[in-house]
Structure 1
Amino acid sequence: MGGMMGTMRGDRMMRAGSRSGGLDVGFGFKFDSTKIYTHGHADRSLDVKPDGMRLYSIDISSLKVKQWDFGVAWDTSTLTAGSDFSMSGIASSPWGLKFKPDGTRFYVNELNNNRVYQYDMSTPWDVASASSSGLSDAIVTQDRNIDIGADGAKLYATQGRDIGQYNMSTPWDITTLTLEKTASNIVPFGDNLDHAHFSSNGMNAYATWSRGSSEGIRLFQLSEAWDVSSIIDTGRQIHLAEIDTDISGAQAVYFREDPDTPEFIVFFPNRIYKVTL
């Protein structure tokens, strides 16, 4: 998002300071400690329905794709558990998750088997209505979290210091997936990426990042839309430990591209919360 850079004031993380309603974090970010949902499960991934009324995750302990309902759109403090879809007997280590924008299909990549599963939903956005509709070849060597470009032609998979870019010759059809290119070592040695969420125009990516006990959200820019070979680490990041010292293990991030209320939703193994710009 081109406007994102204008919101981020300065090149370094600023120390947190008090402000009414929450903490004011560098670059104009605000963390509201009342907007936390504690779920107590081993969830690893994250996607959100475009209207902000439903959130989805994967529980790697129960091997389920889980559906959460918002009582108030985008308000993480109003989340309640909803339906789920079991992958037991199908996948032993499901990890990443991405939904097609019309809610008729979702995708799950499995940790360590290098494949992506595809499921159709007879009732859009209801995972309980899902059935298998395809499986990629064993080519996805970045096996943490995934994202898919706005036109359904590109899939991005993240792990360690790398992001893989894969092509679907038939958009949104995972059976046509092939490796296109890999952006390697895009963060310094010792840093790790778990999930990169791309902006809708393909010009920015926001990733959960860690180095030892430090972790946060990191901003990347692309000089060519949707082309990871053009990705640049801006060095701009939110250090989550400066927001909430009780949280650790950021797994996935979703950026809500609303000009009035731009915000991140961040997923942890046992908590969901948001940071507003």
Structure 2
Amino acid sequence: STTTADFLTGIHFNKDGTKMFTLYQCNSEDSDNCYVNEYNLSTPFDISTKSYAGDDERCELDHGLDSQNRLADLEFSSDGMKLFTVHGDHVGDDADDDNIYRFDLTSPFDISTCTFNHKTTNLDSDTFQDGSNAGDFIEKDPSGRNKNRAQGFEINEDGTKVFVVMMGAGTQNNRLLEYQLSTPYDLTTMTLITNAGINLTDLPTTNVMSIRFSANGKRLFGVDHNTHKVYQISLGSAYDTSSYTLDGIVNINSLTSDSVAEIRAISFNTNGLKLYIGNDRDDGTDNRIYEFDLVCPFNIITGKCPSITENSDRTGMAEAQ
């Protein structure tokens, strides 16, 4: 199934799949499209049954953002009371200022009540960039496109870890950095974990954007904007990038008759049997969200399904047959 959007950079669902949220990237000169939209789904997690909740139900992100350009990825706290997005840029006045922003809600997943709470310290600083397993930031061209920028992020289930995708030095310095939060969901308490992180260029990737974890935190998925591919990585321990294995790569164009050329967003339903990929309008078509059914939870690679005893969803499926 597909659904049109405006300039899509993030997708998220509430726990029961009756609401879908889409993040819109702000224009550099006009913040009128700087918001998160809400859609009601009459059938949970079925995007073909969507209906727009209305402009009054939006979260207007420009109320609190220092910079209203290049917003990417969308995340909520596990209780739905906090909303997060990331700003990353590589040119102009904001080229050296990347931040994750937190907005608070008065009731779970009611984004119309969002208010800005706080943001991270500048992620481009050496303290947040250098010294981890992912490698240090490489700045090839101080004057322009090769500056560092945040393009995706994810927060673990209890809010004690943040994972950020950084793009720098063209396609030669793609990294995933892992951070600790000493106070859950408090971005001001964030510190770099030096014995973790992934040099994404080694996988190889060229332009990773949105990322998502499996429900148990042992698998990580990312979309590559340039190559139209989705990466699946298995971790040695849940939400710990110090040990990992690349399971495989899938080209989204092999799964749909459409030409999907500008993917920026990824999401799953709660049990991991549905995958959602967002494609933006840079490819000359309407921005769309593509919904895919998976054979087993949180797996897109042939031969990598978890054992039946390992996964409760698959256990239920087996018993019902």
1:59 pairs with one of 87, 96, 108? 87
In 2, the alpha carbon distance for the partners of 1:168 and 1:219 equals 25
Q: What displacement does 1:32 show?
A: 1.8
SS in 1 for 2:72: coil
1:197 aligns with 2:259: no
1:217 aligns with 2:289: yes
Q: 1:240-251 counterparts in 2 under 5 A?
A: none
Q: 1:52-131 counterparts in 2 under 5 A?
A: 52-61=80-89, 62-85=97-120, 86-89=122-125, 90=129, 92-111=148-167, 112=171, 113-131=173-191
Q: What displacement does 1:183 show?
A: 0.9
Q: What displacement does 1:162 show?
A: 1.2
TM-score, length of structure 2 as denominator length:
0.60
Q: How far does the alpha carbon of each residue in 1:127-173 deviate from its partner, in whole angstroms, 9 at most, with x for none?
A: 11111113223335151110011111111011242111011112211
1:46 pairs with one of 69, 74, 82? 74
| Pair 71,115 (structure 1): closer, same or farther in 2 beyond 3 Å | same
Where does the alignment leave 5 or more consecutive residues of structure 1 unmatched? Answer: 6-21, 231-277
**What is the aligned partner in structure 1 of residue 210 from structure 2?**
145
SS in 2 for 1:176: strand
Q: Structure 2: which amino acid aligns with 1:181?
A: G
| Pair 67,228 (structure 1): closer, same or farther in 2 beyond 3 Å | same
Which has more strand, going by share of residues? 1
Equivalent pair of 1:97/1:145 in contact (CA under 8 Å): yes
Q: Structure 2: which amino acid aligns with 1:84?
A: K
Equivalent pair of 1:115/1:135 in contact (CA under 8 Å): yes
1:37 aligns with 2:89: no
SS in 2 for 1:229: coil
Where does the alignment leave 5 or more consecutive residues of structure 2 unmatched? Answer: 1-12, 18-38, 63-67, 90-96, 130-136, 138-147, 303-321
Q: What displacement does 1:97 show?
A: 0.8
| Pair 228,23 (structure 1): closer, same or farther in 2 beyond 3 Å | closer
Which has more helix, going by share of residues? 2
Which structure has more relative contact order (CA 8 Å, sep 6+)? It is 1
Q: Structure 1: which amino acid aligns with 2:161?
A: R
1:179 aligns with 2:215: no
Equivalent pair of 2:260/2:279 in contact (CA under 8 Å): no
Equivalent pair of 1:54/1:67 in contact (CA under 8 Å): yes
Give the number of the structure whose alpha-carbon radius of gyration is greater. Answer: 2
SS in 2 for 1:27: helix
In 2, the alpha carbon distance for the partners of 1:153 and 1:190 equals 28
Structure 1 vs Structure 2: percent identity of aligned residues? Answer: 19
Q: What displacement does 1:190 show?
A: 4.4
In 2, the alpha carbon distance for the partners of 1:72 and 1:59 equals 25
Alignment size in residue pairs:
213
| Pair 48,24 (structure 1): closer, same or farther in 2 beyond 3 Å | closer
Q: What displacement does 1:84 show?
A: 1.1
Q: Structure 1: which amino acid aligns with 2:246?
A: L
Q: How far does the alpha carbon of each residue in 1:218-277 deviate from its partner, in whole angstroms, 9 at most, with x for none?
A: 2111112222135xxxxxxxxxxxxxxxxxxxxxxxxxxxxxxxxxxxxxxxxxxxxxxx
Q: What displacement does 1:192 show?
A: 3.0
